[in-house]
Structure 1
């Protein structure tokens, strides 16, 4: 029996638990006070003294030993790219679900991975490590007469934070602000002949690293000239793995867990991809719903909220990964959610899939229209709707700094989209009602059940609506009519099917 400690929290922990449960693995969750929604999906739970212990590899290894785990899965963020955790586990009988310690040392270091790519003959952009605007200016000074544009990429960004394009000297100072990616799409809208060499380069690097597990090899591509350079490796499951799963019809976490079992090969878990990978199907879009106010410089929005004030979209081609969940039905539901400052501000990932780019876009708008959140919680939901509604997105004309240059347009589109969407004709608060009767009759006294001991009673074999009666039963009160055996007394309609009630014997009907 395999048993995995998930050294993470939130929606990614839930994502891992679900795949592990389907494989029949035992699971262990970590949590802190006021952040426990993900623990509802685990077999065992361990309380941490503080959020900082998620970053303590020695403490995590101790917990894995104490709970008799066979595996530790780091999720993403926290220690997923830190060779220390993999190194500590390499000296135990506990498996790190991720690359080897040696492979992680290169792939997790952006500067070392650039050098590694260059050693294989891959193109890399000129670059260096900087820690201030002054460092950037010194670097620019070494690049000749046309040094711009320059891209500043956070060395330890994570979660899509920290890539900025600088087109001139005056922009350098502001380029150190961190930004969160909000929208991801798969597959790439680039032509297949442009993407093919990138895939070949990624596979070549993975083979030389003897890379095992999930990972993302990232490149920068000039959309006009189609020139490309290697940028970095993310040796972990990525936030945007969901859209890859949708277009490839794969459970990447399941594959990752199976590959961590000794003696298991990629051909064992992906036999249909062993020779020739299947092509992607359709398009998928991931929208990151974040607790921040775009109108207030993306200021974080916090507070305590009850589960009943949230409602998520569903339906064909819509998936929601969120930590704002009440958990399985056999668990006591949480009474309150705390959206605070200890962790990432991501509330949910809305993932939509469609056969075409336009179908995925329109489905994303529909899904955003079904999102219900507390009115005093500020989010980027209107901004996401504005991006989907904007003609530039529709026609594939967005770029790295597009959102900054079209902010007001996007917000206007988003506001109009939200107000004009048919779902917003619905009440923003839950509807309440009381069930007082199960019958459409005014009162139950009008219902009379047949007495099997009474020969004058004729029982209907089922409950329904009477749509036809014998003329004798429609005669004025006080009259008397003959009814012959076998004649139709009544026709009862149930679910559009008509059922005939026949007279069991001849007699007189007295009214």
Structure 2
């Protein structure tokens, strides 16, 4: 039985895990670095311990995190997402220390964390993969050029240990191959301390479809349907939808069976995600498996009624999966919009600073997962995600209506956010009709920015008109 969980993370996901612990009457332990001493997860946890002055370094100090967990008599560690969540050495250290790692086994994280190994495993088990190569690091540039010609341009270079949209480079011609390879290797080394790179055929303008997996320690595995994560900017997801408004029931069933087969091939336990690319001909290809809770897990929770973080803790504690695949009957549609503290007009650069006012959207079937509050200072050291807005309705069209309404109500003052940009997407005809793929944002950037300008001008004109009308009434003595 798990009685106390240390959360090896910060911000929104740490708050989410603490709330799941509270629902289970489990004590929670927060860790934080000095810049995060006023973060919400520190305030609401049962206990909190400082792990250093440097913003990021403490959250990556595996030895110190495990030491604190043992000293405070925690039973388990939940890694959240990011930081050490997919670091197999950290998972193994937790296991070897006699603590429970809330996630898959270290050996599974290692196996699925290397995209090359994962591709080979999927291929052996009949899961379709994108045509590509093994690691290229020991190949000459001439050999690499030959492989690219055999695959056929355009191709895409990927970091074997990558994720989160990093360590990826599209190559459209041989002239750019060598330069792109060096760029990809450098980024892979910088972000993942592993410069191993491989090559795949670039599937042009695909949809990004992922299946949420849930598994216990006894071989029982189900999926909680899919999420459509095609609305992306520079390979970074910004809006996610469950289920996909595009998939037919037949295709959903086939892809779901493949997702479970992929998880079984990996020997997977706990919560995870199998990600696919879907082309214009409804051919799907395994892309990767994320061995952790996803940022967008909330939309799966909303359509199925299954609390994924609570289930993570329960299955890590040894409980048996008490759900059959036939029990999962998604109801309605849920949409998540990631609210980032970024300046749309300055190439989406981060905007840390003081939040002078905070009015999250409310109302029926509207959920906000966040760690911010009025007078909170967003530090400049981390990812720019500050809140997740999740809405649910009985149809996709009504869910888009609700998203639009909620974004219009959501107000964060003191820092610039991408709320106006998300609203422009929500109002677009293509989004409402489900006519989008991973290229949508980049291909429509100017149109979306123009929409923001027009909306801001309209709002300004309406405000001026309202002030003028009020002034005239006052002068007339009405």
Report the TM-score range of the alignment, normalised by the length of the smaller protein. 0.7 to 0.9
Q: Counterpart of 1:479? A: none
* Contact map agreement 1:291 1:345 (CA 8 A) in 2: yes
Cα deviation for residue 58 of structure 1 reads 1.1
CA RMSD of aligned residues (A): 2.8
Q: Counterpart of 1:413? A: 451
Q: Quick check: which one's helix share is greater?
A: 2
2:320 to 265, 282, 289: 265
Structure ranking higher on relative contact order (CA contacts 8 Å, 6+ apart): 2
Is 2:412 the partner of 1:373? yes
* Contact map agreement 1:76 1:237 (CA 8 A) in 2: yes
Give TM-score, length-normalised by structure 2. 0.78
For structure 2, the residue ranges without an aligned partner over 5 or more in a row are 188-233, 465-478
Q: Distance in 2 between matches of 1:28 and 1:318?
A: 28
Output one character per residue of 1:448-497: Cα deviation in whole Å (capped at 9) or x when no partner.
xxxxxxxxxxxxxxxxxxxxxxxxxxxxxxxxxxxxxxxxxxxxxxxxxx
Cα deviation for residue 253 of structure 1 reads 0.3
Structure 2 residue matching 1:121: 3-state secondary structure: coil
Output one character per residue of 1:350-394: Cα deviation in whole Å (capped at 9) or x when no partner.
1111111111111111111112122x5222111111111111111
Is 2:258 the partner of 1:201? yes
Q: Max radius of gyration: which structure?
A: 1
Cα deviation for residue 124 of structure 1 reads 1.4
Cα deviation for residue 61 of structure 1 reads 0.8
Structure 1 residue matching 2:132: 3-state secondary structure: coil
Cα deviation for residue 296 of structure 1 reads 1.4
Judged with a 3 Å threshold, the aligned counterparts in structure 2 of structure 1 residues 156 and 366 are, in CA distance, closer, same or farther, namely farther
Q: Distance in 2 between matches of 1:230 and 1:136?
A: 27
Q: Counterpart of 2:85? A: 80
Q: How does 1:84-233 map to 2 (within 5 A)?
A: 84-128=89-133, 139=144, 141-144=146-149, 147-159=152-164, 166-168=171-173, 179-188=235-244, 189-222=246-279, 224-233=280-289
Output one character per residue of 1:291-328: Cα deviation in whole Å (capped at 9) or x when no partner.
1122212212122334xx111101012111111037xx
Cα deviation for residue 135 of structure 1 reads 9.0
* Contact map agreement 2:355 2:373 (CA 8 A) in 1: no
Q: Counterpart of 2:334? A: 284
Cα deviation for residue 232 of structure 1 reads 0.6
Q: Distance in 2 between matches of 1:203 and 1:275?
A: 10
Q: Counterpart of 2:13? A: 12
Cα deviation for residue 119 of structure 1 reads 1.5
Judged with a 3 Å threshold, the aligned counterparts in structure 2 of structure 1 residues 129 and 208 are, in CA distance, closer, same or farther, namely closer
Cα deviation for residue 209 of structure 1 reads 2.8
Cα deviation for residue 158 of structure 1 reads 4.2
Q: Distance in 2 between matches of 1:318 and 1:139?
A: 50
2:364 to 312, 316, 326: 316
Is 2:92 the partner of 1:42? no
Cα deviation for residue 141 of structure 1 reads 3.9
Cα deviation for residue 415 of structure 1 reads 3.9
The number of residue pairs the alignment matches comes to 405
Q: Distance in 2 between matches of 1:414 and 1:347?
A: 21
Q: Distance in 2 between matches of 1:137 and 1:43?
A: 59
Cα deviation for residue 17 of structure 1 reads 0.4
Structure 2 residue matching 1:214: 3-state secondary structure: strand
Judged with a 3 Å threshold, the aligned counterparts in structure 2 of structure 1 residues 14 and 58 are, in CA distance, closer, same or farther, namely same
Cα deviation for residue 155 of structure 1 reads 4.4
Cα deviation for residue 284 of structure 1 reads 1.2
* Contact map agreement 1:28 1:43 (CA 8 A) in 2: yes
Q: Counterpart of 2:439? A: 401
Q: Distance in 1 between matches of 2:168 and 2:427?
A: 24
Cα deviation for residue 130 of structure 1 reads 7.5
* Contact map agreement 2:127 2:286 (CA 8 A) in 1: yes
Give TM-score, length-normalised by structure 1. 0.73
Cα deviation for residue 401 of structure 1 reads 1.9
* Contact map agreement 1:311 1:371 (CA 8 A) in 2: yes
* Contact map agreement 1:385 1:417 (CA 8 A) in 2: no
* Contact map agreement 1:384 1:414 (CA 8 A) in 2: no
Q: Distance in 2 between matches of 1:276 and 1:362?
A: 30
Cα deviation for residue 340 of structure 1 reads 2.7
Q: Counterpart of 1:32? A: 33
Judged with a 3 Å threshold, the aligned counterparts in structure 2 of structure 1 residues 357 and 149 are, in CA distance, closer, same or farther, namely farther
Judged with a 3 Å threshold, the aligned counterparts in structure 2 of structure 1 residues 160 and 255 are, in CA distance, closer, same or farther, namely farther
* Contact map agreement 2:351 2:415 (CA 8 A) in 1: yes
